[in-house]
Structure 1
Amino acid sequence: MTRDADSPQTTPPTAARTGALGPIGRGVDGERTSRRVVASWAMWDWAMQPFNTVILTFVWIALYLTSRQFLDPAVRESGLLADGSYMNCNEAQYLDSAYCQGLTDLSEWWGWANFAAGILILLLAPVLGQQADARGSKKKWLIGATIAIALVQFALFFVEADPRYFWFGALAVAIGAVVSEIGNVSYYAMLSEVSTPATVGRVSGLGWGLGYIGGVVALIVCIPVLFGLGQDDPLAYKLVAVICGVWTLVFSIPMFRNVPESPAYAESEKVGFFRAYAVLAHDLVKLFRTNRPTFWFLLAAAVYRDGLAGVFAFGAVLAAQGFGFSFLEVIVFGLAANLVAGVSTLVAGRIDDAIGPRRLIVIALTGLVAMAFVVFLLKDLGSIVFWICGLLLCAFVGPAQAASRGLLTRLTPPSMQGEIFGLYATTGRVASFLSPLAWSLFLAWFGGIVYGVLGIAVILLIGLILLLFVKLPPHVRA
């Protein structure tokens, strides 16, 4: 079998089995890996998706924690209009009201909680990744992170619809985000152990695709609770959080049972926690000197990945406030967005192996920038524009994410997978302020929420340009 030119020369020869996924993987001992192990690894994406889709993006934060239910009762009542509806804070006449300012404050406070989470990830992720490499404990970290995320979701049941509980809810979700990223470090680093150079793209795509489709199913499971109890009943959101926690635990079981623990790499130095920072600094300098494409790719990916995150982070807000989507339409759009992203990612996994991850990322980022500008230019045509172009945006996000993970796996020596993916998480968080900043600045400068999509487009475009300047080895189809 021909070695993939994108994979490092330190990668051991692979003995692989042919199946539905083609040559599956080499396993932690250099031997063949079964389809069951690959599928079990990919199921962790499925298990984690309710936290990302339901809690962080479309339901718990957007429709509950930052909603009027967490305003002071007097402020909430001040936003009630004569016809029984509430002020639309996208209309200029209401922008300076106490009600709209209160909602803005809630979103701002959630942003600060998220910022604090980013700082913790910046400090912890690469060091914990280095230790997982050295001690052969990636799976242990992943199991611990999974249990912690489930407990965070269970804790959200106790968040009452009261301003006094806002910070409890915000910090709980922020801690969940930290633990999720730490878990991702080990999960991503295990990709090289369940795939071969020939299948890394489709295996990575399988995980991302299952994740997005899991988000669709999780939303469908939660819809009867949300509409049965009503969108203004706090119990609906409490029960949704519990459902997500149970989902995370149940669907992580295949990974716990079937995926073997990673080996300890002799090349990775076993040191204490604080000493690991010195080792990390040394390895960063070494990475710059010996594997400069990986170093510069991490920086370019940090920018465009923040743009990718911005598509989902602000997509629901743009739909509801910019294009007038109702509560039901936001939920339906969330279902469609995850379904489109999941299917496109599964398909793109095979394209990745054929043309190479770098080309696929460039194609996806170009499509994202184009669709973002189309959404803005055709905004006067109404919601149909966002339905079409918004879903096309989602179709490009998943392939770009999966291909980035696959490309980094190819570029990184096996003994540094955990550490490099720790840096991958860190660099992504270092730039995590870019999309929120661009979004807010464009709203402040131009005064309309639809202008925010231009801010996201600018970040994606900058990331694309940076990637084009990164010199990577040519892709050779394995």
Structure 2
Amino acid sequence: MNAMAVPQASPPASELASGPAVSNKGQILAWAAWDWGSAAFNAVMTTFVFTVYLTSNAFGGADAASAALGGALAIAGIAIALLAPVTGQRSDAGGRRKLWLGVNTAAVAVLTALCFFVFPKPEFLLLGVSLIALGNVFFEFAGVNYNAMLAQISTPKNIGKVSGFGWGMGYLGGIIALLAVLQLFVQPSFEWFGAATQDGLNIRLVAVFSALWFFIFALPVLFTVPELSVNKDQSRLGFVASYGLLFRRVKAIYRTSPHTIFFLLASAIFRDGLAAVFTFGGVIAAGTFGFELKEVIFFAIFGNVVAAIGAVIGGFLDDRIGPKAVIVGSLLGLLVAGTSILVLGNGNYTFFGSAWAGSTTFWVFGLFLCLFVGPAQSSSRAYLARLAPDGESGELFGLYATTGRAVSFLAPALFTLCIAVVTPLVAEGEAQRWGILGIMVVLLAGLLVMLPVKPPGKTQIAVVPQH
């Protein structure tokens, strides 16, 4: 007699596959509005305006202030790695994904508004970098829930485009926010009290503007995308017990889908490099290439246009050739552009009989950098959303944030270390450029770890019970 065949368990349904058959355009727009609003924190506060203000001579010099900023962000990364592991899991289980998105977004807005009290004096540097670092902590927590919502509003056929659309909206929101900041505060079109530069009033008011911008555009998703259903059993887990469940699930993921772990590691590394490109981009433009604040903002506007185009194109390619190919191609482009900025620096060159100034170097290769950052970020999000089991997107994106922030000290620390090592060897103000080397090392490491990772269609995550 033949042995009775044992039925094989069917693969677990992903949250993406269990979602709507057709996307709701209103929900997609509301969801993307959060990305639009978040640009006020990403583009205005941490990249092109407020961190440039913090690393100016008023706070003790570009080199010292840049090192302090890098150190604060490194500490923030360690804090996120220690605190974020179960935030997504608990919001999934308690049906509170949207609630915690709102709470953490509000925290970012409050911390951003408090930057109004950072006066242009060296004794206020610690307050400034601390507020930016804390803002990054709560922004990452909000991002866990926001990214997890991607599976709720998209389908397997359009997830790449939806993710790319979100990133594109973020970049376009950055353009509008930067234009508003330029016209109202930095190079005002009319006289008003917010244009006053005494005690840095105009830049401090930029922080208030950014807080309001983020808060207002974050509201639509909170009213439009439905909340998750409650998993009552899991919602009773204590905080420590949630870590126990997380560890068991990580072991199960490694056993059943090791390439998911490899992807989390690779993306953790290269996403830290991507974040550093934006965090230190404006700082390098001002400190190394001599851009005035208004020039930094003009570059930021053009950079966001290019980044939005790159994100949208990357989203379409993602649905056609897969997220891994988009990520690898983007990282190669970033390495070429970043290395060119490092090597050429602020020197004057002649190419094919034409003069090439240092500022031209940054404009050309800086925009080249912007073109590839969006696709790498967007496709990373889409890659993971394709894998998340039903009802566990938040936990997986929490793990995504945790692994990312577990190494998020790398790029800021290497940026700071390279500056510190080179400072005694070069002229005053020349050391900052070498911070780029630290960022490129992180991007290269991420690329090397990513190369052997399988595409999402060739790996599957098993569902693990609580107990």
TM-score in same-fold range (> 0.5): yes
AA aligned to 2:119 is E
RMSD (CA atoms): 2.4
Label 1:111 to 1:375 Cα distance change in 2 as closer, same or farther (>3 A). Answer: closer
Q: Decide which moves more: 399-408 or 215-224.
A: 215-224
2:250 paired residue number: 284
Query: Within 2, Cα distance between the matches of 1:9 and 1:341?
Result: 36
1:266 Cα deviation (Å)? 7.4
Encode CA deviations 1:367-426: one digit per residue, 9 max, x unaligned: 111222233444443221221111011100000000000001112213321111111111
1:320 paired to 2:286: yes
AA aligned to 2:448 is I
Q: 2:398 aligns with which of 409, 415, 422?
A: 422
User: Residue 187 of structure 2 contacts residue 294 of structure 2 at CA under 8 Å; is this kept in 1?
Assistant: no
Encode CA deviations 1:72-126: one digit per residue, 9 max, x unaligned: xxxxxxxxxxxxxxxxxxxxxxxxxxxx4xx544333333332332222112222
Aligned length: 425
AA aligned to 2:359 is S
1:439 paired residue number: 415
1:407 paired to 2:383: yes
1:139 paired residue number: 98
AA aligned to 1:467 is M
User: Residue 113 of structure 1 contacts residue 171 of structure 1 at CA under 8 Å; is this kept in 2?
Assistant: yes
Label 1:106 to 1:442 Cα distance change in 2 as closer, same or farther (>3 A). Answer: closer
2:368 paired residue number: 392
User: Residue 209 of structure 1 contacts residue 346 of structure 1 at CA under 8 Å; is this kept in 2?
Assistant: yes
Partner of 1:386, secondary structure, is: helix
Encode CA deviations 1:36-84: one digit per residue, 9 max, x unaligned: 0111111111111101111111111221x3333345xxxxxxxxxxxxx
1:9 Cα deviation (Å)? 4.7
1:348 paired residue number: 314
2:187 paired residue number: 227
Partner of 2:86, secondary structure, is: helix
AA aligned to 1:456 is I
TM-score, normalization by structure 1: 0.83
1:232 Cα deviation (Å)? 5.8
2:170 paired residue number: 211
AA aligned to 1:68 is N
Label 1:459 to 1:195 Cα distance change in 2 as closer, same or farther (>3 A). Answer: same
User: Residue 74 of structure 2 contacts residue 413 of structure 2 at CA under 8 Å; is this kept in 1?
Assistant: no
**% identity of equivalent residues:** 41
Query: Within 2, Cα distance between the matches of 1:424 and 1:384?
Result: 37
Structure 1: gaps (5+ residues): 1-7, 16-25, 72-99
2:7 paired residue number: none
Label 1:437 to 1:249 Cα distance change in 2 as closer, same or farther (>3 A). Answer: closer
1:197 paired to 2:156: yes
1:249 paired residue number: 215
2:339 paired residue number: 373
AA aligned to 2:332 is T
Query: Within 2, Cα distance between the matches of 1:222 and 1:412?
Result: 39
1:233 Cα deviation (Å)? 4.2
User: Residue 268 of structure 1 contacts residue 416 of structure 1 at CA under 8 Å; is this kept in 2?
Assistant: no
AA aligned to 1:211 is G
Query: Within 2, Cα distance between the matches of 1:323 and 1:111?
Result: 19
1:461 paired to 2:450: no
1:268 Cα deviation (Å)? 5.2
Structure 2: gaps (5+ residues): 1-10, 189-194, 350-357, 460-467
Query: Within 2, Cα distance between the matches of 1:426 and 1:475?
Result: 24
Partner of 2:408, secondary structure, is: coil
Query: Within 2, Cα distance between the matches of 1:321 and 1:173?
Result: 19
Encode CA deviations 1:322-359: one digit per residue, 9 max, x unaligned: 32323322121111111211121012111110110000
